[in-house]
Structure 1
């Protein structure tokens, strides 16, 4: 048995139980804890109230439609033929197209600002990226409708020509290799709407990633250089593993924005109430765009159906955020950094 003797303390006294150390919490700490808990409780309460409000206002439509509300593609509430199947698929497709453009661009932008840009240029780029996040969505919608759409249809035709064997890039009713084929089939598509939404969510994703990349431990950076790593080698071994949680969190934050984007999608996409997996072809719809389109002219029952559609979008967003939070907890930034 090994005992530790403290100088100046009798041996029999040193074998007693260790002294418990307590800290006295001051009034300022109590106030801070109260404010923090109140803020968290307020957020949960607001989310609960929003969900209850949508459920209450949409209950009439849900009782009439039943489970077919989640499987019906058409949207004609006044004829009792409505559902969110096509709406949810269109919403997810727009968000996936947006993320496929936004995430690589955001990662490159964040890495350049945090790792390569000189100090003076870095501050300018940070301000510009943050300013892009503050631009109203209607401005992006105008940009997409009157400038981007006329240019992107040629890219859509090229993708359809060479990748048309993939179902998602197929365009029905036209031969993309025919030089006389109409180009109108590529306008007002999910692909164009997704590109516009990508411009809106890229600044948000980039800002989150940039902050996480800049917090990578200096000791691990210097250790990588000491072992002979290049700049990119250090980024690959230290910065990217450290920022994995932030990358996932930023992506999911952008996904939440993309799922709920309204005006830009409403201004570009042509409403088609059927499940369309072809993102390059004219037509599509999303839940938020439908609500913006029909809210002003809907009857009482139609308004209840719109509330039910909003409830479906609300629940889908909660599920996405819950999955994202689970992934972030399991891949906390820096936990698996390879120094």
Structure 2
């Protein structure tokens, strides 16, 4: 039976369980979600999929989709359930290293990990009896949101699916658990870390960068790239890099986080100094051998950062609250090496 069908059959029982759990002693995994002064005022959060009202202090926090769990964890709150890592998880335990380190620091056991290989496991989310579900950075559909909202209040993305900047993800998710002030402090701390680290690589300032999506070396007839609506491209600005006019122009007519165009139009990308993408030596060899793509200045100059997609470093370009500190120096060093060749 499909998950949604099973969930529908269990919704009444799950909600009854959640109601009873909310009246009992909270799990240790859901504690410490109070605001600094101990008071909690009802919160109303507007987002792309509706309006969410959180009436009482959440004690059991669940998160879905990528990285939302890092916000409560960074603020000392251990979720009762969260999505298992499905990208860059080199040891297969469902946890990226910075998440595992934080759980150890907090003396906490691993929360329930939701397998989202085939989409959100609504039944598993309901089984954790959450008081709130965080998804400020996500790709929720309206149907996903409506189904999750039957379980608990849901905080979805503010405007664009998979397009929530890391600062806004922290702002929305921290506010939803009654830790708005702490969230603002976290943002300020990360901004300082980023600016201090980027200052060590002056060659990045003003260098233009574009992020190609996963490149198929068996078919280079098309070029796919992340638009300015994607958090990978947004992160370039934090690091002192600039957006090429070609990418900015293409992004202006869409709200999609990625676009594709024919390799025959590769000459449109002559304003790209460095390219970031996922892959290894095989990818670099293929790009350099391709008669069209090899004409791109970044390829001709070998000014390419190829991130391994199967390791934690592969997630470096997509900034999240806990990963920024963990990968910042390594990522900057790779970008600077490419900038030196541009």
Structure whose CA Rg is larger? 1
The verdict on a shared fold, with TM-score over 0.5 as the criterion, is: no
TM-score, normalised relative to structure 1: 0.21
- Which protein has greater RCO, CA pairs closer than 8 Å, 6+ apart? 1
